Amino acid sequence: MKFREVLGGHEVWPPPLWLMRQAGRYLPEYRATRAKAGDFISLCLNPALAEEVTLQPIRKFGFDAAILFSDILILPMAMGQGLRFAEGEGPRLPPLEDLSLLQPGKAAGVYAPVIETVSRLSASLPKQTGLIGFAGGPATVACYMLDGQGGGFPRTRQLAYEQPDFVRELVDILAEASIEYLSAQVEAGAHCVMLFESWAGLFPPAQFRELVIRPARRICDGLRALHPGLKIIGFPRLVGLMLGEYARESGVDVVALDSVTGLAEARAACPPGTIFQGNLDPLLLKLGGEALDEAVEALLAQVKGHPHILNLGHGITPDVPEAHVARLVEKVRAAR
């Protein structure tokens, strides 16, 4: 299995390929399945339909890995915080004021359908296809829990200065809950897991160490105590000069890069031998044509000779034509 070989530090050519949000609104079959589910949360918590949308891009494009179809906010919802998705507006939660209202002990009963989805995928995916479980990084999930929605997260950033112990305690609660959640995914058949710290770049260095690196290390150590040898991908988006410290200290095996981080610069900042994932700009996938071809060729030239997982620097957007995804797959598979 190409994907798992690279996780183990081996160079594979052509490199394995999967895409963040590869199961998504750019696919008509996804839109049809979501309509059948009724709403996004119902889709995430319906094992048969979540399995189906996870499999759709594998059938169509033959990606080397599938990522569980779910959402990073299923975990706070499972701990008792209300969650809804407003059409065209993204997630909405009641801003968290009191940590005692969270019930992490009851979470497993709520997210049980997600674990069933992993079990189903473990049985139904092609044997050569990797299966990735995931959770949101604690700092990123805390942003949504404290602000109640996306959009700069001003309350979270202010609380990190005014009430650092409160934010730290929330992040620690999330780290422990994430260990349990991700461990259940591994037990159900996930080959590796990924931590999405999409908003890690909001925090200055001292807060970044405390709210991003420290809990990531706690999760990695906790998971490996339960599952020795488990491989973990970390996605610390938009962290700039803190990338090297994240790679050294977080405990992750693979560092996923955003589209504004140069691969050469990442190699210079991170320990020798760091495995990277990424980092084609999703906008190029929307544009297609010569711009896409040239970018793919340039990225392939940069990763040759290194263990690398090809991906985007962020998720596919709904306006990406299927034909452009097919072209990306064709270019990668034909690499010599």
Candidate list 25, 31, 224, 267, residue with the active-site label = 25
Q: Does the active-site annotation cover 25?
A: yes
Active site residue 246: no
Of the candidates 4, 26, 64, 71, the residue annotated as catalytic is 71
Catalytic residue, from 4, 21, 157, 168: name it. Answer: 21
Q: Could you tell me if 44 and 70 are in contact, meaning their C-beta atoms sit under 8 angstroms apart?
A: yes
34 is catalytic: yes
> Is residue 218 among the annotated active site residues?
no
Extended strands (E) in 14-114? 65-67, 84-86, 90-92
CA nearest to 21, candidates 165, 235, 232: 235
Separation in Å, CA 256 to CA 59, 138, 245: 24, 17, 14
The contacts of residue 187 (CB under 8 Å, 6+ apart) are: none
Cis, bond preceding 46 (omega within 30 deg of 0): no
Could you give the 3-state DSSP secondary structure of residue 298? helix
Three-state DSSP at 65 gives strand
**Contact predicate 149/91, CB 8 Å:** yes
Angle at 220 between CA 191 and CA 310, to 5 degrees: 50
Catalytic hit among 31, 34, 92, 217: 34
Question: Which residue among the candidates 144, 181, 218, 281 is catalytic per the annotation?
Answer: 144
Which residues, at least 6 apart from 151, have a Cβ–Cβ distance to it below 8 Å? Answer: none
The closest of 66, 50, 49 to 58, measured between CA atoms, is 66
Determine which helix (DSSP H) or strand (DSSP E) holds 177, and give its type and residue range.
Answer: helix 164-187
Distance CA 310, CA 319 (A): 21
Using alpha carbons only, give the angle 254, 70, 87 rounded to the nearest 5 degrees: 125
For the annotated catalytic residues, the residue numbers are 21, 25, 34, 71, 144
